[in-house]
């Protein structure tokens, strides 16, 4: 399968790719660099904006502005010309300890923004992360799930009646599924979906296709894996980097799978995978789903 590199290795931790159909553009973030990127699909032109603090996950609202899980809370962001970002705080959890930030997040099928938190010192393995929901009318709800080390893998089934969540920390490496009530935003019946300890790599960012299959970036293994709704691995695609971070469907037919990646810190790893930190694209032979904008169906 052809895997195309779309950018130079510009990201330290590339995350949260989101396809914006009206612009025919992909947005994503580099968390430690506090940067938001945009790639125009036709021209290949890349633009960027730098925020005041780390941006971990983003979603659009109907106006084309962003809601973002950041270092100190959830913010409304406006991307202005010349790389300027203006921000307005929306909500923040009661942080259980210093050194926290948001991590992976996206909107459910009804336009609620879900995002999880983590402690930034991963080797310390503080299980203080949690999953929250930010609703346009109710504000911040949660923690809905707590006791997480490194929250990741948020996604919803095509009908929105199932939610996925993972913990990508080396001590966990688990993916769960929940029954999801779209009318109320209430989760129930938490079950183990995939034990990634039985597969290579850790479960990082995810996407769901039109068949309801769950695509997960297998961090540290350099793989994209697709699991059926029953939790069976049915595809595994090798990537040119060891640390794919998150994937998202886009393109005019939603048939392109974009993959962000993480740039290693050691010189040996950089020599082995010089394009780590780049954005990649492939066509896996299936289609994705349009991401619901914040507040649109609430």
The whole-angstrom separation of Cα 240 and Cα 279 is: 11
Chain centroid, CA 59 distance in Å: 10
Closest by CA to 278, choosing from 250, 242, 251, is 242
Peptide bond preceding 276 in cis form (omega within 30 of 0):
no
Burial readout 168-180 (b: 16 or more C-beta within 10 A, e: otherwise): bbeebbbbbbbeb
CB-based burial of residue 43 (10 Å sphere; 0-12 exposed, 13-18 middle, 19+ buried)? exposed
Parallel/antiparallel/unpaired status of strands 46-50 and 35-40: antiparallel
The whole-angstrom separation of Cα 192 and Cα 43 is: 43
The whole-angstrom separation of Cα 70 and Cα 246 is: 17
Closest by CA to 196, choosing from 207, 185, 204, 184, is 204
Alpha carbon separation from 172 to 127, 147, 150, 151, 168 (Å, rounded): 10, 11, 9, 10, 6
The whole-angstrom separation of Cα 221 and Cα 213 is: 20
Alpha carbon separation from 205 to 1, 50, 82, 173, 296 (Å, rounded): 21, 22, 30, 12, 24
Answer whether 277's CB lies under 8 Å from 9's CB: yes
Residues with a catalytic annotation lie at: 204
């Amino acid at each position: 399968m052809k895997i195309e590199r779309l950018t130079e290795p510009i990201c330290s931790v590339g995350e949260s790719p989101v396809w914006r159909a009206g612009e025919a553009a992909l947005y994503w973030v580099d968390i430690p660099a506090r940067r938001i990127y945009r790639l125009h699909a036709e021209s290949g032109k890349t633009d960027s904006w730098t925020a005041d603090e780390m941006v971990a996950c983003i979603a659009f609202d109907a106006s084309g502005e962003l809601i973002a899980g950041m270092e100190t809370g959830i913010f409304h962001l406006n991307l202005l010309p010349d790389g300027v970002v203006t921000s307005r705080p929306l909500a923040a959890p009661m942080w259980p300890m210093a050194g926290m930030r948001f991590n992976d997040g996206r909107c459910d099928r009804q336009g609620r923004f879900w995002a999880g938190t983590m402690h930034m010192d991963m080797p310390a393995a503080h299980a203080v992360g949690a999953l929250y929901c930010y609703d346009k009318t109710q504000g911040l709800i949660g923690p809905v799930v707590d006791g997480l080390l490194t929250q990741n893998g948020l996604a919803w089934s095509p009908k929105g009646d199932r939610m996925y969540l993972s913990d990508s920390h080396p001590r966990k490496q688990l993916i769960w599924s929940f029954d999801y009530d779209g009318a109320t935003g209430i989760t129930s019946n938490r079950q183990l979906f995939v034990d990634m300890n039985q597969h290579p790599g850790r479960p990082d960012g995810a996407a769901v296709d039109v068949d309801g299959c769950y695509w997960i970036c297998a961090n540290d293994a350099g793989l994209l894996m697709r699991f059926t709704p029953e939790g069976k691995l049915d595809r595994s695609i090798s990537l040119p980097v060891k640390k794919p971070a998150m994937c998202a469907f886009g393109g005019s037919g939603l048939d392109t799978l974009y993959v962000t990646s993480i740039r290693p810190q050691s010189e040996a790893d950089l020599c082995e995978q010089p394009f780590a930190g780049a954005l990649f694209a492939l066509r896996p032979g299936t289609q994705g789903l349009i991401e619901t904008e914040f507040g649109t169906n609430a």
